[in-house]
Amino acid sequence: MTERCDLLITNVHAATMDPSMPGAYGAIEDAAVAVTGNKIVWIGPRRELPDTAADQIIDGEGQWLTPGLIDCHTHLVYGGHRAGEFARRLGGESYEEVARAGGGIISTVRATRAASAEDLYKKAEPRLKALMREGVTTVEVKSGYGLDLDTELKQLRVARRLAQHLPVNILTTCLAAHALPPEYDGRADEYIDLVCEQILPAVAREQLADAVDMFCENIAFSVEQCQKVIEAAQKLDLPVKVHAEQLARTGATQMAARAGALSVEHIEYITAEDVAAMAESGTAAVLLPGAFYTLKETRVPPVDKLRAAGVPIALSTDLNPGSCPLASLRLMMNMGCNLFGLTPAEALAGVTRAAARALGVCCSRGVLRAGLRADMVLWPMETPDQLAYELGALNPAQVFWGGFGRGIDATAG
């Protein structure tokens, strides 16, 4: 009996990234992939393909197919820029010194509050399209440059609107506990009350966020204050993520693990005890080498300990106007290898299955497997190692969002 599908891709090598498959990439040489609707319905060696008829057949020409890339930590909706601060840091000022002098996050808050929703959309769209052109099919977008009810909602609504107009999948995160707004100077506890009692409930009512994040750091909020945010999020049935231990060890990772957080992010200063807590709770690590590079940090996350403990290691851009204005997930793969010691296979896992784990969507994407979304990228390369190795000239031949394929230039319009 002939099976029917919407899309059939043959003569392709599949880097499935499925951990149940042998090899670092879970590779299937000379594979075939069948898609119906927005899901993969069959994948395996081409010689084992059942008798199948398809509305569209694509000859992969011996290229490689990977899962769609996932950027699991971005701040891409914001106003203004901070190029001047970049010059100041090159002149010797630290990120913390710039922030305490009124720059940093607060300078972006001022610009984002002043910008209209339309302006925010127009500025965010090219950043998002830059990621899409590299094969990114799912992006997390955080708020956190409003620090008041109206602007936090404005950022999240813009992120939702981007998903309505472009084929990319967008997951939104409320990061209202990102920094202390100037009008609350000296009253951090009161601002946290505002976040917990007004901002998060309003975000939940409009269903504008898929998760809640917070910046637990000496220049931001304490463990005790972030614990209140976690409890408020849990009451609203929103999963949590935590910016943790980027600049110093605060105990944020232990707090996040106790709460069953989806992920902890940055984590340059975590300890062996923190890694053990993450492994026990199933919390993913999100490494952000672009911020490490831009800020000229020297403390490297303990990748060996994370690897040994079996903690999922995700990579992301941290795309933002201050510490990482770099809209390239492929560059982060290269940096993850060169700066943090990941293997090329770990880097690809970090922007596919581990990134999906960090966003709580590993049941729907992140690997090539029957039953999961057909978010896929076709690459003109001889080995998947090239994805972390070769930048600039190696671009996707085709990107599939839920089985819907577009040439790489389709995102430019």
Mean pLDDT for 316-334 is: 97
* Contact between 134 and 395 (Cβ < 8 Å): yes
Amino acid at 348: L
Residue 197 DSSP symbol: I
Amino acid at 4: R
Per-residue pLDDT, 97: 84
Between 409 and 98, residue with greater pLDDT = 98
The CA angle 80-84-85, to the nearest 5 degrees, is 95
The span from the CA of 262 to the CA of 257, in Å, is 9
At which residue do the structure tokens 């971005």 appear? 74
Phi first, then psi, for residue 192 (nearest 5°) are -60, -35
Per-residue pLDDT, 406: 59
**Model confidence at 50: pLDDT above 60:** yes
Confidence of residue 95 (pLDDT cuts 50, 70, 90): confident
Residue pLDDT, tens place only, 105-157: 889 999 999 999 999 999 999 999 999 999 999 999 999 999 999 999 999 99
Confidence of residue 302 (pLDDT cuts 50, 70, 90): very high
Residue 412 DSSP symbol: G
Rounded percentage of the chain residues whose pLDDT exceeds 90: 90
List, as one string, the DSSP characters of 63-83: -EEEEPEEE--B-----S--H
When the pLDDT of each residue in the chain is averaged and rounded to a whole number, the result is 95
**Model confidence at 41: pLDDT above 70:** yes
At which residue do the structure tokens 């201050």 appear? 322
CB atoms within 10 A of CB 257: 23
Per-residue pLDDT, 85: 87
Name the H helices within 69-140: 83-90, 95-100, 105-114, 117-133
**Model confidence at 375: pLDDT above 60:** yes
The span from the CA of 168 to the CA of 131, in Å, is 10
pTM for the model stands at 0.96
Mean pLDDT for 384-396 is: 96
Q: Which long-range contacts (CB under 8 A, 24 or more apart) does 241-245 make?
A: 241/173, 241/211, 241/212, 241/213, 241/265, 241/286, 241/358, 242/213, 242/214, 242/216, 243/213, 243/214, 243/215, 243/216, 243/217, 244/216, 244/270, 245/269, 245/270, 245/274
Tell me if residue 118 falls in helix, strand or coil: helix
Per-residue pLDDT, 410: 41
Nearest-CA neighbor of 348 among 254, 115, 234, 356?
356
Q: How far is CA 38 from CA 357, 371, 375, in A?
A: 20, 9, 8
Confidence of residue 100 (pLDDT cuts 50, 70, 90): confident
Phi first, then psi, for residue 336 (nearest 5°) are -60, -35
Task: Name the percent of the chain in helix, strand, coil, to the closest 5.
Answer: 40, 25, 35
* Contact between 340 and 289 (Cβ < 8 Å): yes
| 114-149 CB burial, b ≥16 within 10 A, e <16 | ebeeeebbebbbebbbbbbbbbbbbbbbbbbbbbbb
Extract the tokens encoding 17: 């990234």
Confidence of residue 403 (pLDDT cuts 50, 70, 90): confident
Residue pLDDT, tens place only, 169-206: 999 999 999 999 999 999 999 999 999 999 999 999 99
Per-residue pLDDT, 45: 98
Mean pLDDT for 12-36 is: 98
